[in-house]
Structure 1
Amino acid sequence: MTTVKAMTSSTRGPRGSYSVGIARRRKIVEAAAERFAQEGYHRTALSRIAEDVGITEGGLLHHFRSKKHLLLAVMEHRFTTEAQWWARLAQDANGPDVLRAMVAATERHLSEPGLIELFVLTSAEAADPTSAAHTLFADRYRRAVDELARLLQLGVDGGTLRADTDCTAVARECIAVSDGLQLQWVISRGTLDLAGAVRLHADRIARTVTPDGRGL
């Protein structure tokens, strides 16, 4: 099965050269993420990304064989950054706080609208089990559901969520709704109140799983 790493070219020369190559690829991905986030995938030329990093377009293609391969690397970077953000969520956060964080995460996404478009674009390819996107998204969903369920369980253990809360089911639903709303946001060309829709869903969930039935 093809992986994202397999689609990037690398040479195992001296350790110093290898380290430089790793650092260069990281800079390319970060520059591409910034360009894609603000200008969109289709409107961003590889030459502009290469210029941001201080290399030629040919030099960029030495590390990423095509714009599509770079796109997947950017999505992998986004998922990693997203996971780190959730991991930093206070361990003593109560259940409602975790649901509020779903809204905060959406607002973070809206600050980089191009990356929402990239997410929708690459998620369509994930249906193909032989694609690198499938592997990337399968891993992302597994990790995201597990982490959100773990945080919700802290709320159950602390008494801020009902003892009979199915944390995995709630986590899966919240992520599914969030991802589906991002697709609707793209289709509506940004006219959908994405953060408001996620907030409405999180509030509805809170009224179901909090002991006193109180919303956010």
Structure 2
Amino acid sequence: MKQFLFLLIPALFLLSCKKDNTLPRTETTTSGSKWGIRVGSSAADVYTQLQASAKLNNFEDVDVIGQKLTFSKPEEVQQRLKFYSMLNVQKDADGASIVYNESNVINITGAIPKTLNKWPETAADEIAVRQNEPVDNIYKKLLAIYKLPAYADYTITLAYKSLTKGFDPDMGNYNEWSFYIFKDVKPGLSGRNYVRLIFSSGKLKQIITEYNEFEVYNTNQ
């Protein structure tokens, strides 16, 4: 009987140490840090940590779950344009997506979609947002566009929270942020980490990482 128990204990030990390969699998971090992000940090500090993590883990943006990013007037986005990299101006099926970096407009896409030299296409150059427009001009151009009766009731949506841009203080009003980290497992297989940051009372309380794997096909062959 003793011999049987001695044999059983190592077997149980091996089973308990065996790695769980079930996918997807979820890990919840409630203390310390994960992905370079420390539990207990303020929203502003988490954003700074995210910027550093993005460089190490090769991701570019973060989503703020439930954040209000659609507005009816240019005045509502004046102080926030600098924190984002794209704005969508839209009414029903008409509108445009305007992509910009730290210095100028780099792309304008119409609703069809097609690349535009300016938007609105029929507006004078001193009113329309143009390709290569300095970023500092976007707000005053929006003010001019919204004075045109045809565009007065278009909505403005801020999009793409690039981590190369600064922290938007409004992010601190929301309790969940998320982002993705992709890692190559082996040729033809990619690992995806979906990371959720859960806040409470202005501090990061949990980091929830869901990991899964997917086959990747080379479409160039």
TM-score (normalised: structure 2): 0.24
Structure (1 or 2) with the larger CA radius of gyration: 2
Q: Which has the higher contact order (CA 8 A, sep 6+)?
A: 2
TM-score (normalised: structure 1): 0.24
Which is helix-richer, 1 or 2? 1
Which is strand-richer, 1 or 2? 2
